[in-house]
């Protein structure tokens, strides 16, 4: 191989492998398809300048996407055991056991069980909007707009869901990830019927 060609192709191949591997790792940690995103990262790495821009955009898309947290079956089974109604999404969950008048709540690593009498109130909220539209062809402003949109999407997600206020000094409010308004309406009715005995 001609030495001049080696100087051209070697950095591109190294960047392709590094970029593909790094994007695959990020996608895996976010619960996305690591194989597909790794392939996109590798292909982007083969085209030096346009590929770098594409790789940055792919990283932003992966980071901005929702992470689907999959719990082991034994954790799900223990949490929902005996529950007539349960909902688990992301790192959150709720399970109602009407026979024992018990509510179980999960948020990240925290799982607690309460009696129905410990429930003070509950509400649902859906928040959306606030996105930034970028019309510039400047890479820096495109990345800044994508980053701001990712932050806004995350804030909207954190402000949305089913919120349960409990008689608990340590964890007075629990948020259950529930983006669907139909699911929110369903759970409002479940809570009214079981906890209020309506």
Specify the pLDDT at position 1: 47
How does DSSP assign 136-167, residue by residue? ---HHHHHHHHHHHHHHHHHHHHT-EEEEEES
Q: Are strands 102-107 and 110-115 parallel, antiparallel or unpaired?
A: antiparallel
| pLDDT tens digits for range 40-67 | 666 666 665 556 666 667 667 666 655 5
pLDDT for the residue 14: 66
Q: Calculate the average pLDDT of the chain.
A: 76
What CA dihedral angle connects 22, 24, 25 and 30, to 10 degrees? 130
Nearest Cα residue to 192 out of 105, 50, 85: 85
Lowest mean pLDDT across 48-52, 84-88, 154-158, 167-171:
48-52
Torsion sign across C-alpha atoms 3, 4, 7, 13: negative
Domain co-membership, 114 together with 190: yes
57 with 81, same domain? no
Whether 10 maps to a domain, the answer reads yes
Q: How many domains does the chain have?
A: 2
Q: What is the pLDDT of residues 14-40, one digit of tens each?
A: 666 666 677 677 777 767 666 666 666
Q: What is the pTM of this model?
A: 0.57
9 with 54, same domain: the answer is: yes
Residue 27 belongs to some domain of the structure: yes
For 101, the token pair is 């008048």
pLDDT above 90 (res 173): yes
Whether 15 and 111 map to the same domain: the answer is: no
Range of 181's domain?
A: 73-128+157-195
């Amino acid at each position: 191989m001609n030495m001049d060609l080696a100087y051209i192709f070697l950095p591109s191949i190294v960047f392709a492998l590094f970029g593909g591997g790094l994007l695959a790792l990020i996608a895996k940690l976010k619960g996305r398809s690591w194989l597909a995103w790794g392939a996109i990262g590798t292909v982007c790495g083969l085209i030096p300048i346009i590929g770098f821009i594409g790789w940055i955009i792919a990283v932003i898309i992966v980071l901005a996407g929702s992470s689907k947290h999959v719990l082991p079956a034994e954790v799900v089974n223990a949490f929902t055991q005996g529950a007539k109604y349960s909902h688990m999404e992301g790192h959150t969950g709720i399970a109602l056991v009407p026979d024992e008048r018990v509510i179980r709540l999960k948020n990240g690593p925290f799982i607690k069980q309460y009696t129905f009498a410990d429930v003070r109130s509950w509400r649902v909220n859906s928040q959306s909007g606030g996105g930034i539209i970028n019309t510039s062809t400047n890479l820096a402003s495109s990345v800044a707009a994508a980053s701001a949109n990712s932050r806004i999407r995350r804030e909207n997600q954190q402000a949305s869901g089913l919120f349960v206020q409990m008689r608990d000094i340590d964890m007075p409010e629990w948020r259950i990830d529930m983006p669907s308004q139909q699911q929110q309406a369903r759970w409002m009715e479940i809570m009214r019927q079981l906890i209020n005995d309506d």
